[in-house]
Amino acid sequence: SPQGRAQRQALNSWIAQATQRAALKRAVRALTRRGERFGFNAWLEAAQARADEVRALSRAVAALSPVPS
């Protein structure tokens, strides 16, 4: 029916606008959170480097420790 077609067109139009709006929101969020992402990545890299250092020191201490008999 013509009314049904009009309703489908309206719904499809609304869905397209909602999809476009969601994409724009994601883009804006990515731009505004860019600094946070860079900061987190820097922190993560430093934390991983520190964990590697702690593991290396633990192995060195274990190598110097006497083995129980």
pLDDT band at 7 (very low <50, low <70, confident <90, very high): very high
- What would you report as the CA-atom Rg of the chain, rounded to the nearest whole angstrom? 28
Q: Is the pLDDT of residue 69 over 70?
A: no
**Full-prediction pTM beyond 0.75?**
no
For 45-66, write each residue's pLDDT tens digit: 999 999 999 999 999 998 888 8
**How many angstroms separate the CA atoms of 59 and 65, rounded?**
10
**How many angstroms separate the CA atoms of 56 and 37, rounded?**
29
For 36-46, write each residue's pLDDT tens digit: 999 999 999 99
Q: Which two tokens stand for residue 25?
A: 């929101």
Q: What is the DSSP string of 5-21?
A: HHHHHHHHHHHHHHHHH
